[in-house]
Structure 1
């Protein structure tokens, strides 16, 4: 080692080095008390260490994204149950063969809703291609599962770009969809921390039809924006017909539960192209060389 490097050498071994060295001795102490605290999984999983685990869960994805230079994201919310058209058609054919009227009706609805899978896929592709062409890449982020989430990641993959998946550990098996960039595929235990990561770098949030999980994500964003806890950014709801049936926003205004101005917090869109144009206009004011520039600094909320 030359003298210049010696001046900058570590004064103490790294935690990784010490943990590796200590691990060679641990086998002689079966109760695990000798194992260093940060290398002891059983200790870290104790009930009393929940605050530490929450902090680690917040910090790990943050540091990985910093290392990979992820600065701006567009988040896609939506149902895990919406399927691509070819799969929906297969299920419809099977239902017709079975002859159950209720099953046929459900399968027909799946085919109808499959258009949102195709729109989410095209939107993910548009975002990836469009932002790359403008010189400031924006990463598509989804919940990492099937359905609309898969479609968003798949669209980015179609465009040859990266995308992120924020999976959540659930009692039933849920594997990440195969279109997520492996280095940007995270798994969370805490819903709250996961939802923070959805918002921290987002320049826009796009919500497709969905159920309880989608509603939870959408209304948290609306609440944070309405109360000023989070900055304004485009919030787009795909499918006015769907959202108009499941949420009567006008009735909330009429009852005085929200103000008329709160209806301006979101926009209805019907196509991938329309959604991308709304986002571009929100950030560029018709100057296509400045997309997302105003939103490059992550917000921790």
Structure 2
């Protein structure tokens, strides 16, 4: 009886749960759970995986494009108002600046009432003084080129030049004295920044700089087309102060030349021009403010550029 009773108790258990030992119940259940976790469909039955429409997982190209546009706009504004990179394409400012250098021009240097000083390396627009004014070309092409130049990705405009200020309004600049050196307001200037082996000038000149104008020269005098070459042009080779873009303060490329543009004490002993102006006469140059640029020699030899141009 006991044996039969025990068999009867085991029987229902075996009939109601036939797959417990074989594991067939566990297998399909496990498979269904695994399948749900890997590829659940949305309640609408569209068949798209859950989370496909999540904006955090969606492609971020729009965000990237907007960020890129904002960066470019910021750089353009920065280069237009604060500091602009320029590429040096020629040798006329060697050894201070070399071909391929990228300089950063400080546009705030003369923005708040200050004016260029003797010895400053400046970038200026030579339109009307170094080059003739020409009719405007395609505005779209010009805009694209200006934008690339503003970011330092292209050479600057043909009208942009970089030179060193040698004389400011009222100064009398003469070359050369009996020792073959430059004088400003009667004081000899020792120009240690010149390219070794170059004389201060290969041609003589004697000029008085008109008010609000600058007399500029390259450091590599034998390779620089500068104020000396435009004595016979309108303005007499003098650059209007309001055409100055800014002061070249830093060399930012290549990395091996990363530094500030060195200043000079060559003009520290030069006095201010006399209040009544310099005397005029043979070889004395034009009077301040006359705009004739005075008298002077012919053109120096050079490649016609220094950069941005020379």
Which structure exhibits the higher relative contact order, with contacts defined as CA atoms closer than 8 Å and separated by 6 or more residues? 2
TM-score, length of structure 1 as denominator length: 0.22
More strand by share: 2
Question: Is the helix fraction higher in 1 or 2?
Answer: 1
